[in-house]
C-alpha cells in the first residue's frame, strides 16, 4: 500500500555493524532502507547476484576511498530484513566475497524462520 511503512528487522550483528560505519554512510543506508520500507526504489540499491531476482538487495555506499554495503531482503510482505552490513575489503573487482555471501545466505534462512514464526503468532 502506498504510504505504508514496513518495519525493519535486523538479523545477526547487522545493526551493530551498521552503527560502526561513518555517519555519512549510515545516513545513506538509512535513506535507502526508508525508501525500501515505503516500497520505493533508491538509486544506490541493486540486486545481489546469486539470489534470484530482486528479493535480496544491496545498498552500495562509497565513502572516501572505501565502499560500504548493506544487504537486505524484501522477500516478505510485512517487513524489511537487514541481513548484513560490511565494509568491502577487496581492492580489485566489485564482487562480494564468498564469506559475505555465505553469511547473507545463513541470515536469510534465519529471516525466513523468524518470518514463519511471526506468521504463526498471528
Does the reported pTM lie above 0.85?
yes
Q: For residue 84, is it within any domain? A: yes
Predicted pLDDT of residue 113: 95
CA distances from 98 to 13, 24, 61, 102, 103 (A): 18, 27, 20, 6, 9
Q: For residue 3, is it within any domain? A: no
Predicted pLDDT of residue 88: 85
Residue segments in the chain with a per-residue pLDDT below the cut of 50: 1
Average model confidence (pLDDT) for the chain? 91
Q: For residue 52, is it within any domain? A: yes
Predicted pLDDT of residue 91: 57
Q: Which three cell numbers stand for residue 103?
A: 553469511
Expressed as residue numbers, the domain containing 43 is 8-121
Amino acid at each position: 500500500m502506498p504510504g505504508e511503512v514496513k518495519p525493519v528487522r535486523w538479523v545477526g550483528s547487522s545493526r551493530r555493524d551498521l552503527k560502526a560505519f561513518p555517519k555519512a554512510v549510515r545516513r545513506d543506508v538509512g535513506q535507502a532502507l526508508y525508501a525500501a520500507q515505503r516500497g520505493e526504489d533508491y538509486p544506490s540499491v541493486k540486486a545481489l547476484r546469486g539470489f534470484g531476482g530482486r528479493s535480496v538487495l544491496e545498498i552500495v555506499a562509497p565513502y572516501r576511498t572505501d565502499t560500504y554495503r548493506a544487504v537486505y531482503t524484501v522477500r516478505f510482505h510485512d517487513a524489511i530484513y537487514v541481513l548484513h552490513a560490511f565494509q568491502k575489503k577487496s581492492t580489485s573487482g566489485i564482487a562480494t566475497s564468498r564469506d559475505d555471501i555465505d553469511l547473507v545466505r545463513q541470515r536469510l534462512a534465519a529471516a525466513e524462520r523468524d518470518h514463519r514464526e511471526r506468521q504463526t503468532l498471528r
